[in-house]
């Protein structure tokens, strides 16, 4: 051990994706410590490479933490404070300070002006090396356990062991990491599917397949959840932003009910039934009968 690193706390970051790299960079740049990033695969930042069709969707042009957090139905409360601390504006500034300019598309997504994920990958790699982070690929972890002196031991598949003072887990949804965390005394909620389309058997939707309704309110009345947004009618049921967000809100309840429940769709949210009837009668009075069913309401 060199005299420079002796006595410095050793930090391990498990996971070589965007979160792992950014976390490692933040730690290394703010503290007098030795940071090692461990990645099981043969390539760092593999998902960043394919993000946004190879262009890398870096962040979103929404700078209000309250509004931004509402895009995460079950994590809204937890994420709001995180966005308060470090939000899209901070992300934009961080990349600009390192020579990476971002552009905003019509839907709010932000990409590097190069339209290449390699720009982001190289920036993160260079910043990691600049901060002296040790990058290790092909490291397969067998177990993680606490040891005396408030340290942790990471045992590898090849029987080698590594010791660290702190560990940052950035492993995404990998089930193996859950076992490590459970062994360290953490509690993990059982995972359930989320962000899925709905299969619906209803003859009233059969002839609407392929149609998009820009403004609807979809509700799972049994659970008390509702969601405004666009709805796409498919040949199997319903999809679109409103449905996907609703599936996230009711993920656990739907799982417990074996995905058997009632979906209520309001195609004209905010308008009372009497007003809808009046509008329909008014339209029918001067529109040819054959064209009425295809006319936007």
Burial 80-89 (b: 16+ CB within 10 A, else e): beebeeebbe
Strand partners, 109: 60
What pLDDT does residue 294 have? 57
For the cut 70, the answer to whether the pLDDT of residue 2 exceeds it is no
- Phi-psi sector, 34: left (phi>0), alpha (psi -120 to 50), beta: beta
178/172 Cα distance (integer angstroms): 10
Contacts by residues 174-180 (CB-CB < 8 Å, ≥ 24 positions apart): 176/141, 177/14, 180/141, 180/143, 180/144
The residue written with tokens 């606490």 in the block is 146
Tens digit of each residue's pLDDT (9 = 90 or more) over 195-206? 999 999 999 888
Burial of 39 (0-12, 13-18, 19+ CB in 10 A): buried
Structure tokens at 96: 């600009």
Q: pLDDT tens across 87-96, in order?
A: 999 999 999 9
The pTM of the full predicted model, rounded to 2 decimals, is 0.79
Q: Is the pLDDT of residue 1 over 50?
A: no
Identify the pLDDT of residue 267. Answer: 92
The dihedral formed by the CA atoms of 45, 48, 54 and 60, expressed in degrees to the nearest 10 = -160
Q: Decide if pLDDT at 292 tops 80.
A: no
Indicate if the pLDDT at residue 72 is higher than 70: yes
**Average pLDDT value for the chain:** 92
d(CA 112, CA 145): 40
DSSP string of 165-218, one letter each residue: SEEEE--TT-HHHHHHHHHTT---PPP---S--EE---GGGGGGTT-EEEEEEE
User: Of the CATH numbers 3.90.470.20, 1.10.630.10, 3.50.50.60, 3.30.420.10, which one belongs to the domain with range 10-184?
Assistant: 3.50.50.60
Residues 136 and 174: their CA atoms lie apart, in Å, by 19
pLDDT tens, 150-183? 999 999 999 999 999 999 999 987 789 999 999 9
CATH class of residue range 198-283: mainly beta
What is the per-residue pLDDT across 111-132, written as a single tens digit (0 to 9) for each? 999 999 999 999 999 999 999 9
Domain extent listing, the chain: 10-184, 198-283
Minimum mean pLDDT range among 100-109, 135-144, 261-270, 286-295? 286-295
């Amino acid at each position: 051990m060199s005299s420079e690193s002796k006595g410095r706390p050793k930090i391990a970051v498990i996971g070589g994706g965007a979160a792992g790299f950014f976390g490692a960079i933040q730690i290394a740049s703010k503290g007098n410590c030795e940071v090692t990033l461990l990645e099981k695969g043969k390539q760092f930042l593999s998902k960043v490479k394919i993000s946004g069709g190879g262009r890398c969707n870096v962040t979103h042009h929404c700078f209000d933490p309250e509004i931004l957090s509402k895009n995460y139905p079950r994590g809204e409360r937890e994420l709001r404070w995180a966005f308060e601390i470090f939000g899209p504006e901070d992300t934009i500034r961080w990349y600009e300070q390192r020579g990476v300019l971002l552009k905003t598309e019509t839907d709010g997504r932000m990409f590097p002006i190069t339209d290449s994920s390699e720009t982001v990958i190289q920036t993160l790699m260079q910043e990691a090396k600049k901060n002296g982070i040790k990058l290790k690929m092909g490291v397969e972890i067998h177990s993680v356990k606490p040891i005396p002196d408030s340290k942790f031991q990471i045992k590898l598949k090849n029987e080698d062991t590594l010791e660290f003072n702190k560990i940052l887990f950035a492993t995404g949804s990998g089930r193996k990491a859950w076992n490590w965390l459970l062994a360290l005394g953490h509690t993990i909620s059982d995972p359930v599917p989320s962000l899925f389309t709905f299969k619906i058997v209803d003859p009233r939707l059969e002839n609407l397949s392929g149609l998009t309704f820009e403004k609807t309110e979809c509700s799972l009345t049994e659970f008390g959840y509702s969601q405004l947004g666009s709805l796409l009618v498919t040949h199997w049921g319903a999809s679109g932003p409103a449905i996907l967000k609703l599936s996230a809100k009711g993920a656990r309840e739907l799982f417990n009910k074996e995905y058997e429940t009632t979906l209520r769709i309001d195609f004209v949210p905010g308008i009372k039934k009497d007003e809808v009837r009046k509008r329909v009668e008014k339209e029918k009075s001067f529109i040819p009968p054959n064209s009425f069913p295809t006319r936007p309401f």
